[in-house]
Amino acid sequence: MTDEFQSKLDQRLRDFRSWTQGKRLKGCRLVQYSGVEMIGALDVPLGEMESQIQGLLGEGFHVAWADHHDLVYLRVWEYPGPEPAWLNVFSEKSLADVNLR
């Protein structure tokens, strides 16, 4: 891992810590996308959120976070995108109908 990448990773984790400060959160959902398809969603223990973010960023994924109904949602998608809309993330739905008939 290069020093530049490590610096960016450290900054993202500081941003996450700052964002969570003072929030009363009940849980965390990680919702992952590949292209327009939602490929999985899982519960993440609150104490493991940072390690999940660190691991995913280290693997080259994009990671963003938001709170919705006292839950943290970790939105994960592959480069180059598309970036999933938060409404799709909160409802854990694909960005397009992937079950074409």
What is residue 98's predicted lDDT score, i.e. its pLDDT? 59
For residue 62, give both structure tokens: 């994009």
Residues of the chain with pLDDT under 70: 98-101
- Which CB contacts under 8 angstroms, 24+ apart, belong to 38-41? 38/84, 38/88, 38/92, 38/93, 38/94, 38/95, 41/92
Minimal CA–CA distance to 89: which of 46, 25, 69, 55?
69
What is residue 81's predicted lDDT score, i.e. its pLDDT? 83
What is residue 101's predicted lDDT score, i.e. its pLDDT? 55
Count up the domains in the chain and report the number. 1
What is residue 100's predicted lDDT score, i.e. its pLDDT? 55
What is residue 60's predicted lDDT score, i.e. its pLDDT? 92
Structural domain contains residue 16:
yes
What is residue 82's predicted lDDT score, i.e. its pLDDT? 93
Packing angle of the helix pair 49-58, 3-20 (nearest 10 deg)? 150
Structural domain contains residue 7:
yes
Domain carrying residue 41: 3-91
Structural domain contains residue 97:
no
Q: Looking at residue 12, which CATH number applies to its domain?
A: 3.10.20
